[in-house]
Amino acid sequence: MPIQEMTVWDTAVEVAQGSRNRYGGATTLERVVVRLTDDDGAEGWGEAAPLMYITKETGSDMAATLRGATPRIRGQEADELLAALDDAADFTGLGAARTALEIAAIDLAAKINETPFSHVFGGHKRTSVALDAPIGLLPPDEAVRKAEPLVDKVITTLKVKSGVDAEADAERLVRLRERFGPGIKLRTDANGGFTPEEALWFTDRMVEIDLEHFEQPVLPSEEKHIDVFREIRARGMQVALDESLFSIDDARRLVDMEACDIGLIKIAKFGGPRNAWEVARVFDAAGKSALLSSPYESYIAKSAGFALALSLENADRAHELAHLLDEEPYAAWSHSISNGKFTLADATGHGAVGIPARVEKIARTTV
C-alpha cells in the first residue's frame, strides 16, 4: 500500500552521560524519529542521532531535510522508496538523516511482507548476541563500583574508556582485572587520544592483563597511524577501529593493509543499514569481526543494529547495543535483554515502535 503520511520528530533531551570519554560527557542528545504510515495504517519506525564529534549534521538539519522530502515520499510503496531512496532528498553530509528514513522504510516493508528486518541482510543466522557494558573515565575504585552491578547482571564484557592519561587508564583496567578475574572480558577505547608512543606503552601493559582488544589507539590524522596499528597487533593485541572507518573503501583499505581485527559499525556513519551491512561484510569476508555499536539511540535504532548483528557470519564479539541512557523510554520493543544477551522476539520488522505521546514530550518540532 502507498505511504500516506510521514511524521518527523526533532527531539532533544538533557542527559548526564555515565560513560564519559576523552571527548567529554554528553549533556544534550539530539535524535530524529521518523514514522511512515501506509494507507492500511501499517507503520514503519526509524531513528538516528547525529554522531557527536564525528559528523557535522544536527538534528535540526536532519529534520528539515526529511520534511522537505515528504511530498516526494508520499504516495510511494515502501519497496519503491527503498529502491530509489536517494531520489527523496539530497543526503550529502546527512548520513544520519538518510539512516532514519531507511530504517523506517525497511521496517514498513518488512511488516507489509511479514518478514523480519534481517530479511534485507539475507536473514538472521542466530537468535541472540552477547552485549557489553560501558565504563567511563573513572578512578579505579569508582570503575569497580560501577562494574559490580553490571557483572551481577551477567554482563561478561566491559568496554572501558581510555585515551587521556596512559598510566591512569592502565591502572583502571588493571584494577578491574584484579577485581573480576579472567571470567570477564575487558576491551578499551582510546578514541584516538594517545600519541604513538603512549599507545605502544599502553599496549604492553594491556597484553599482560589479557585485554580483548584496543579500539582506536591513535587518530587517522596521525602520520604513521597504520604503522602504529600494525605494531600493536604484532605485540599481541587485537585492534578495533571506529574513527578510522567511514566508508566501504576505508574498510577494504584497512583489511588489505592488515591494520585491524575489528570494525566498529555505527549505522549512521554509513548512511543506513544496507550500506552498513556492506561495510560489515568486508570484515566478515576477511575472517575479521564487525561489531555493532548504537550508543546514543533508543530501542528503534538499536533494534535495526541488532538485526544486522544477527545476520553476520562471525559472532565472536559482544556488541554495543545495550548502552541505555537514564531517560524515560520513548519507544518499546518486543526483544529482551537478560543474562548479558540480546534475544530476538518473533516479530515482523525490527520489533520496536515509538510511543508517540512520549516522543512528543521531547520534540522540539513535529511535522
Statement to judge: residues 306 and 215 lie in one domain: yes
Statement to judge: residues 7 and 105 lie in one domain: yes
What's 333's domain CATH number?
A: 3.20.20.120
Domain count for the chain, please give it.
Answer: 2
Name the pairing type of β-strands 336-338 and 341-343. antiparallel
> Look-up: residue for cell 559472532?
315
Can you tell me the mean pLDDT for 217-238? Answer: 98
Statement to judge: residues 66 and 168 lie in one domain: no
Q: Is residue 296 within 8 Å of residue 322, measured between CB atoms?
A: no
Q: Each residue of 294-345: pLDDT tens digit?
A: 988 999 999 999 999 999 998 889 999 987 777 789 999 999 988 889 999 9
Q: Rounded to whole angstroms, how far apart are CA atoms 172 and 141? A: 8
Q: Is residue 311 within 8 Å of residue 119, measured between CB atoms?
A: no
Q: Each residue of 76-110: pLDDT tens digit?
A: 999 999 999 999 999 999 999 999 999 999 999 99
Statement to judge: residues 177 and 73 lie in one domain: no
**Structural domain of 33:** 3-114+354-366
Statement to judge: residues 61 and 128 lie in one domain: no
Q: Rounded to whole angstroms, how far apart are CA atoms 293 and 70? A: 29
What's 45's domain CATH number?
A: 3.30.390.10
Instruction: Measure Cα distances from 124 to 118, 128, 315 in Å.
Output: 6, 10, 12
Instruction: Measure Cα distances from 161 to 166, 167, 194, 327, 354 in Å.
Output: 11, 13, 12, 22, 31
Q: Residue 17: its pLDDT value, please?
A: 59
Q: Each residue of 25-62: pLDDT tens digit?
A: 667 889 999 999 999 999 999 999 997 666 679 999 99
Q: Which of 148, 147, 224, 219 is nearest to 187 (CA)?
A: 147
Statement to judge: residues 97 and 144 lie in one domain: no
Statement to judge: residues 10 and 96 lie in one domain: yes
- CA-based torsion, 113, 337, 102, 36: positive or negative: positive
pTM confidence score: 0.95
Statement to judge: residues 95 and 124 lie in one domain: no
Statement to judge: residues 360 and 342 lie in one domain: no
